[in-house]
Amino acid sequence: MAAENFMHFEETETVQFSNAFKVAGIQQLFAVTNDDDPHYIHHAAIVDSTPDDFEDLSLTAFVGEFFILFSQDERHAVLFSPTGDFKLIAGPREFLLSIYPDLHAQRNKFIDFAHAQLSYPHTIGYELGMQRAIRYMDWLN
């Protein structure tokens, strides 16, 4: 599932994602940078699935970095995309529904956002990332 975003969890999302991970029985997650800045290349952390840890992760531990947050079994994940404008949420359908109760509405909301972003010039990498995200979202059709 794709969703509009900046680089990290929005303030209102920390509780929402914490609850979703807890319902899935996940107490701890791994966070690893996916930023191409060489200063961050080996940055990783283990966090609890609490709103406070998610907020700390976004505001201090990984401030200014893109990262992936995933469960030990690698079935649940949140990827903060290097385009900086969206994130990808992966996991079993029940996990996605606990975050976005109406997957089709979320799909449409994201595709509208992506098309609006592509209506004005960006770098090739940004445009390719957005186009790939739109194709990824087509699985909900």
Residues in the chain: 141
Give the span between the Cα atoms of 26 and 99, in whole angstroms.
15
CA distance linking residue 4 with residue 75, whole number of Å? 22
| Pair of tokens at residue 126 | 């940004």
Note down pLDDT in tens along the chain; length 141 residues.
Answer: 888 876 678 878 899 999 999 999 999 999 988 777 666 666 788 999 999 999 888 777 777 677 889 999 999 999 887 666 788 899 999 999 999 999 999 999 998 988 998 998 888 888 888 888 888 887 766
In angstroms, rounded to a whole number, what is the distance separating the alpha carbons of residues 10 and 65? 15
41: helix, strand or coil: coil
Q: Mapping DSSP to helix (H, G, I), strand (E, B) and coil, where does residue 101 land?
A: coil
**What's the confidence (pLDDT) of residue 84?**
60
How far apart are alpha carbons 78 and 69 in whole angstroms?
5
pLDDT in the model for residue 83:
64
Question: In sequence order, what E strands does 55-126 have?
Answer: 67-71, 77-80, 86-90
- For 120, other C-beta atoms within 10 Å of its C-beta total 6
